[in-house]
Amino acid sequence: MNAHEIDYQILGEEMQYVELELDPQEAVIAEAGNFMMMDNGIKMDTIFGDGSKEKEGFLGKVLGAGKRLLTGESLFMTIFTNEIQGKKHISFASPYPGKIIPIDLTRYNNKFICQKDAFLCAAKGVAVGIEFSRKMGRGFFGGEGFIMQKLEGDGMAFVHAGGTMARKELAPGEVLKVDTGCIIGFTQDINYDIEFVGGIKNTVFGGEGLFFATLTGPGTVYVQSLPFSRLANRILQAAPQGGGKDKGEGSILGGIGDVIGGDRGF
């Protein structure tokens, strides 16, 4: 194996975290902000790229890391290495309520394609890059589902799903239509495209966006019920305007009480 072989345990229910067991000189990579806790003896370093190609020249590392900018990620990643004798443990936490999904890349022909903000951590040796679409139309209309990340190698990787996770096994030619934000990831055999919802009423009044993804089998698809973009939008919509507390919250009258009380500008 090229990637480090690590043991793991996923703990928790709604707000999960994954605990990784590192043997001496074993290491794990992660995006900034996912770290939770670690034993003494594990060294943390910031590296250029993902550390999967240590023998690659500087220009190759620059190009590989530069591609990550297209997904909105940093040029740098964090690597955690057990530098002393004995097994040590390190944990990475979910960013919001949901599930952590272990991905054994050897089961998917050493490649898995995932949503750009789904990646949590992986064994050192797993390459984290971007998956370009073959059709430019997806770039203009696909929303958060266009530029996907690809995880390549023969080690373990961990991705995060918001809310409840659904795993779908698609037969050859079977089609699944999904909101682009609800995609967690899929295997490399899945054919991915963007489809227009269609219809004036659907477009204007549907409230579900103009496009959704069509995923065609054979292959495996992971879907999440609560993408972060949807969660953030609901929080913003519920936030009281002007920073004040909504006095009608929790009452039977609700917002009507604020109108009578003059808090709505009447």
pLDDT tens-digit profile of 21-30? 999 999 999 9
pLDDT at 250: 47
Distance CA 224, CA 34 (A): 19
Q: What is the pTM of this model?
A: 0.78
pLDDT at 264: 46
The domain locations on the chain are 7-240
pLDDT at 9: 95
Q: What is the pLDDT of residues 153-191, one digit of tens each?
A: 999 999 999 989 999 999 999 999 998 888 999 999 999
pLDDT at 72: 59
Low-confidence ranges of the chain (pLDDT < 70): 1, 50-75, 132-146, 197-210, 241-266
Distance CA 79, CA 35 (A): 11
CATH superfamily label, 7-240 = Mitochondrial biogenesis AIM24 (3.60.160.10)
Q: What is the pLDDT of residues 50-79, one digit of tens each?
A: 666 655 555 555 665 555 566 556 667 899
